Amino acid sequence: MSPALADPAQDAQSVSDLPREERLGHRIVSEDETIILMIRPSAWFVVATSVNALPAAVAAGAVLALATIDDAIPWNTAGALLASLAILLARFLWQSVDWFLRLYILTDRRIVVRRGAIPEVCECSLSEIAGIGLPRRRIERFARTGSLAVMRGSSSRARSASRARQVGQTRREGPRVRVDHSLEWSVIRKSDETRRTILAAVSRFR
């Protein structure tokens, strides 16, 4: 599903006005928030995340193939190959469920990510977003997609309090920033435009 990018000043819609197919977002976001952007990852997400299981599948197949040297083991090369394919198929099905349930939401207050075959909701206030990275993996360049890495730091209020405590101290440390992998917007289309939309929302919030 391609990103339905919205002009925050004109096209932002309230949660209560979402169409039926986006009721999932309605259950995640509170009534008093305004949704600026709601997208799902590209179908390439399934392929891009399933290939991570390839080394494990190859290793398992190689071990089982080597085990066939012992005649006492009731296994053959074809069985080893089938075992590798079963690992890849299981990973593909798991990631397919994850893709179907995954949802990325930007509101006027926060970023929300619903992810996982066993769904979990991760969120971050816009005040805590220190930046948005744009990693491009090789398979994503091939599929003309991209991912957004959310760099998370302390909130503006927390940084102000920290600076107040540090008055009179000779050594000062800058705010700690880390990439929060649970908030990554993985394998989306129009990733550059989506990144600009998120950064604009963060700028307005501050």
pTM of the model: 0.74
pLDDT at 61 over 90: no
Q: Quote the pLDDT of residue 170.
A: 39
pLDDT at 91 over 80: yes
Which of 12-16, 82-86, 118-122 ranks highest by mean pLDDT? 118-122
Report residue 144 as tokens: 């003309």
Contacts 24+ apart (CB under 8 A), 133-138: 133/179, 134/191, 134/192, 134/195, 137/48
Q: Quote the pLDDT of residue 93.
A: 95
Q: Quote the pLDDT of residue 174.
A: 52
Higher per-residue confidence, 115 vs 2: 115
Report residue 162 as tokens: 């920290």
Ranking 78-82, 104-108, 196-200 by mean pLDDT, the lowest is 78-82
Residues whose CB falls within 8 Å of the CB of residue 94, separated by 6 or more in sequence, listed in order? 117
Mean of the per-residue pLDDT values of the chain: 79
Higher per-residue confidence, 36 vs 174: 36
pLDDT at 1 over 90: no
pLDDT at 87 over 70: yes
pLDDT at 183 over 70: yes
Q: Tell me: the pLDDT tens digits for 128-141?
A: 999 999 887 788 88
> For residue 205, how many other CB atoms are within 10 A of its CB?
15
Strands of the chain, DSSP E: 13-14, 34-39, 103-107, 110-115, 120-125, 129-133, 146-153, 177-179, 185-188
Ranking 99-108, 157-166, 182-191 by mean pLDDT, the lowest is 157-166
* Residue among 26, 13, 201 nearest 124 (CA): 201
Q: Quote the pLDDT of residue 163.
A: 46
Q: Quote the pLDDT of residue 175.
A: 56
Higher per-residue confidence, 11 vs 101: 101
Q: Quote the pLDDT of residue 60.
A: 79
Quick one: CA torsion of 151, 8, 18, 41, rounded to 10 degrees? -40
Q: Do the Cβ atoms of 61 and 75 come closer than 8 Å?
A: no
CA distance 154 to 152: 7
CA distance 57 to 46: 17
Length of the chain: 206
Averaged pLDDT for residues 47-67: 82
Residue labelled with tokens 């080893």: 80
